[in-house]
Amino acid sequence: MQRAQKNNTIHLVSLLVLLLCFSISKAQTKGPNLIPNPSFENHKNKSKDIKNAFPWKGIGTVDYYLKAEKQDTSKYRGAHKGTCFVGLRFQEAYKEYMYVQLNEALEPNRTYHFRMFIRLLFESTVTVRQLGVYFSDDAFKFGMKFDERGLIDTTYKKGISGAMNWIPIQGDYHAHGGEKYIIIGNFNPVTKEDFIKRNKWDLFGFKEAYYFIDDVSLRKIISPNDSLLGLKPVKKKKVKTLPDTLKIGETIVLKNIQFENNQAILKVSSEIALEELVNKLNNNPFMEIQINGYTDNNGKESANKTLSKERAKAVYEYLKKEGVLNIMTYKGFGAQKPIAPNDTEENRALNRRVEIEILKMEMD
């Protein structure tokens, strides 16, 4: 009993720390992503070299993946976002870098938020203590020095593994102005000094750490005094759509959630309502929900069920991307359970909806 209480306490403290970090991050308004081809989805052919993901370039034979590879045996196999991703290899006498020119040079005395997701290949024999990004005025060149002031990295003395799941490396960078490139890699001059063995009994095995990289972003942090084209900043009008109190078994229609016609692509106009849902879930971290998708009765029922499930999944993935920690599932029900007759376009629009169903409120 005492052990269970202790585990619950540890879980609660860890969750509160994560929520605090998330709240701090969400308090910042950020500009557009300055990284071109940030998830490596755009490519010219089927080449497995990073140069195929134009305009990215690599130092060494940096691998490019159009889909999950057979040698990737992790249950998290595949990309973090989309289908494409890249891989960096680190050995005792060899290591790789990847770099790209930004969409625009960084402004002096401005702060930017960087984030990328990494995942260790299960078959790696070692991990590295440090992995990160370097901001440079120039493209990569051999022999260049990496000043610590230009670095954002994650350094972990036990080695970066993340239990084989995708994990973020992120931080804020204060620009001196004119930086045009980012370089991703390990910046320890002696790579083997950064290695941590995954199997301490393996005394003579070949040492290699291999990390997948995906979903890279760099966004300027917008200050309250910033304006667009000399105009005052536009404030989003927030409309409250969710009730103050929620109950187990309750089903709530998510109002103002809109998709592209016959697709599972969320429209930008859905952002305000989704942000409200994110905040509601973060304020109720032990609430468990199911996201249900519905359509009207136009078209084949099999296609409607598929579309409704994909739309529910799109909301699920948005919440996950925004750092929601609640337990969530999603389902699609097609034209089942209409809330209005399918006799007019207005009523059919009401039936094309996404709902959340409250399954649990408290931690056991």
Q: Where are the domains of the chain?
A: 28-222, 251-360
Domain 251-360, CATH among 3.40.50.2000, 3.30.1330.60, 3.40.50.620, 3.40.1440.60 = 3.30.1330.60
pLDDT at position 4 is: 43
At 358, list the tokens.
């409250």
- DSSP-assigned beta bridge partners for residue 169: 116
Q: Longest C-alpha distance within the chain, in Å? A: 73
Question: 355: pLDDT confidence band, cut at 50, 70 and 90?
Answer: very high
User: Does 224 have pLDDT greater than 90?
Assistant: no
pLDDT at position 329 is: 96
How many other CB atoms are found less than 10 A from the CB of residue 68? Answer: 15
What integer is the mean pLDDT of 273-282?
A: 90
At 226, list the tokens.
């910033």
pLDDT at position 238 is: 60
pLDDT at position 229 is: 36
pLDDT (tens digit, 9 = 90+) per residue, 36-73?
Answer: 999 999 998 989 999 999 999 999 999 999 988 877 77
Rounded CA-CA distance 32/343 in Å is 42
Q: Are strands 111-120 and 167-174 parallel, antiparallel or unpaired?
A: antiparallel
At 356, list the tokens.
């959340």
Contact 50, 62 (CB under 8 A): yes
Question: 254: pLDDT confidence band, cut at 50, 70 and 90?
Answer: very high
Rounded CA-CA distance 23/282 in Å is 9
pLDDT at position 204 is: 61
What integer is the mean pLDDT of 185-204?
A: 78
pLDDT (tens digit, 9 = 90+) per residue, 278-294?
Answer: 989 988 888 999 999 99
Nearest in space to 82 (alpha carbons), one of 98, 100, 99, 66: 66
Instruction: Tell me the CA distances in angstroms from 44 to 41, 48, 64, 88, 328, one per residue in order.
Output: 10, 11, 12, 21, 37
Rounded CA-CA distance 159/130 in Å is 7
In CATH, the architecture of 28-222 is Sandwich (2.60)
